[in-house]
Amino acid sequence: MRVLIVQSNEPLGKLWRRHLERLGGTVTIAETGTDAVAKIETMEFDVIVLDLVLGEGSALTVGDVAFFRQPNANVVYVTDTTFFSDGSIFEHSANARAFIESNTPPHDLAAIVQHYGQPSSGDEAHRNQAPG
C-alpha cells in the first residue's frame, strides 16, 4: 500500500506515518500543496491522506490533480474544522472516500487508510489489462 500524507503539521504527519508503516504501508509525506502535486506527478499512490487546511496551497487543488493524474488513488480527507461537515466534500472531490477529523486516533486513521488502500478486484483487472 503506497500512501501519500499531505499534512502541514509535521509531528502529526509523522505520527500517522508510523501507524501506517506498522500496517505495511510505504509512506511519503508532503507538507504543502505544491509538494503534494509534485509527488502525485512523479510517484504512484493507492491512497492519499489529505488535510483540508494546508499551511500552503489548496487541498481541493491537490485532490483534483490526484483525480486526473491517478484516478485509482482514493483520497481520505481529514480536517480540524467544521467546513464540509455536511458531507459536501464528496460532491467536490470525485475520488473522496472518507472524511474524518484530524484528532481521530492514529490507529483508527491507519485502519481507514488501509481499507481504502487495498485494490478492488476491478482495479487489479484494470491495472493488468494490456493496452490496445
Cα–Cα distance for residue pair 89/86, rounded to 1 Å? 8
Examine residue 100 and state whether it is found in any structural domain, yes or no. yes
Q: What is the CATH number of the domain that holds 102?
A: 3.40.50.2300
Examine residue 93 and state whether it is found in any structural domain, yes or no. yes
Examine residue 127 and state whether it is found in any structural domain, yes or no. no
The dihedral of CA 53, 13, 39, 112: what is its sign?
Answer: negative
Return the beta strands (E) in the chain as ranges: 2-6, 26-30, 47-51, 74-79, 96-101
Let me know: does 7 contact 48? Beta carbons within 8 Å.
no
Residues 105-114 have pLDDT tens digits of 999 999 999 9
Examine residue 79 and state whether it is found in any structural domain, yes or no. yes
118: its cell numbers:
487495498
Q: For residue 111, which amino acid is it?
A: A
- pLDDT(95) > 90: no
Cα–Cα distance for residue pair 88/97, rounded to 1 Å? 12
Cα–Cα distance for residue pair 25/18, rounded to 1 Å? 9
Q: Which residue has the higher pLDDT, 90 or 43?
A: 43
Q: What is the residue-averaged pLDDT of the chain?
A: 85
Examine residue 92 and state whether it is found in any structural domain, yes or no. yes
Examine residue 128 and state whether it is found in any structural domain, yes or no. no
- pLDDT(1) > 80: yes
Position 102 scores a pLDDT of: 87
Residues 15-68 have pLDDT tens digits of 999 999 999 999 999 999 999 999 999 999 999 999 988 889 888 899 999 999
Examine residue 17 and state whether it is found in any structural domain, yes or no. yes
**Could you tell me which of 113, 83, 74, 102 has the C-alpha nearest to residue 63?**
74
Position 86 scores a pLDDT of: 60
Q: Which residue has the higher pLDDT, 77 or 48?
A: 48
**78 is in which domain, residue-wise?**
2-120
Examine residue 68 and state whether it is found in any structural domain, yes or no. yes
Q: How many domains does the chain have?
A: 1
- Confidence band, pLDDT 50/70/90 cuts, at residue 88: low
